Amino acid sequence: MNEVLILDVLLLTLALVAAVAIVRVRSLLAATMLSGIYSLLMALVWSNMHALDVGFTEAAVGAGATTVLLLGTISATGRLSRRTPSLDLRAAAVVLFTGGLLIYGTLDMPDFGDPHAPIHQHRVPKLLAQQVGKVPGRPPLGMDPPDPAHPHPRDDFNGHVPNTVTSLLAAYRGFDTMFETAVIFTAGISLVLLLRRRADDIVEAWDERERERDVQTPRPVAPVPQPPTRSYTAVGASAEPDDAPKGET
């Protein structure tokens, strides 16, 4: 049993505990924090497996951005989830079946870090030998660059990007990455088109809600026609049951 495996087992056990706790806990705030902890643990697992780029993305997106976005959603909706039965047998059966299938699928895969795995025999040497960004006559590492007009440090790959992942993403799979960026852009545009409302619409919606509220429960001290600004504070005070998390971020 090597150190990587021991660490992996420890971290994955903690991640399992966090996942179970996310399902069990009823406070959505606690669930959000636990999902952030889960993402951090998974980022540690990826770095432990030397997949640093994946770990970086997991830490930045999973633990950082997603947690913050969930916090924003919670502060806009509610803090407690509906009371549900703790164990749904049908859901548990589906989850166990799918998980079993996945584990069964991994039985065919080579061991972690196996140098005789097909990916290390065929695909990776080709990728590492690709000519993307490489100058054919580049000097070996540690030797002086051939062109004094464009010097590079000795540890630079003479202009070739040392990070294979970036080289793959930006050059070898440049089209792929470009359309991934376009997908993110489409997500942003859809948000703007679908969810962003004009200020007038929001004001009208608040006024509408307030009128409905007035019809249902007439306020005890509201005898005279009021200036319109006063009613907004009334809506603000009563529409939201005072759970705006101002100081717990």
Partner 1 sequence: MSRRHPVTGAFQAPRLIEHQSVLRVSCKLLVPFIIMFAVYVITHGELGPGGGFQGGVIMAAAFIFYGLVFGASRLVERIPSRVTDFLMAAGVLLYAGVGLHNLLSGSNFLDYSALNPAHPSEGEALGMTLVEYGVGITVTSVFITIYVTITEPRFMRSKRENVKVTD
Closest distance to partner 1 from the beta carbon of 234 (Å):
11
Could you say which of 8, 14, 25, 53 contacts partner 1 (CB under 8 A)? 53
What string marks each residue from 178 to 217 as x (binds partner 1 by CB under 8 A) or -? x--xx-xx-xxx-xx--xxx-x--xx--x-----------
Distance, in Å, from the CA atom of 44 to the CA atom of 222, rounded to the nearest integer, reads 59
Closest distance to partner 1 from the beta carbon of 72 (Å):
5
Could you say which of 134, 213, 214, 238 contacts partner 1 (CB under 8 A)? 134
What secondary structure does DSSP assign to 122-182, as a single string?
IIHHHHHT--TT--TTPPPTTSPPS-TTS---TTSBTTB-S-HHHIIIIIITHHHHHHHHH
What secondary structure does DSSP assign to 49-99, as a single string?
TT-HHHHHHIIIIIIIIHHHHHHHHHHHS-SBPPP--S--HHHHHHHHHHH
Under the criterion CB under 8 A, does residue 249 sit at the interface with partner 1?
A: yes
> Which one-letter amino acid corresponds to residue 243?
D
Residues that bind partner 1 (CB under 8 A): 52-53, 55-57, 60-61, 64-65, 68-69, 71-73, 75-76, 132-135, 138, 147, 150, 158-163, 165-167, 169-171, 174-175, 177-178, 181-182, 184-185, 187-189, 191-192, 195-197, 199, 202-203, 206, 229, 232-233, 235-236, 240, 244, 246-249
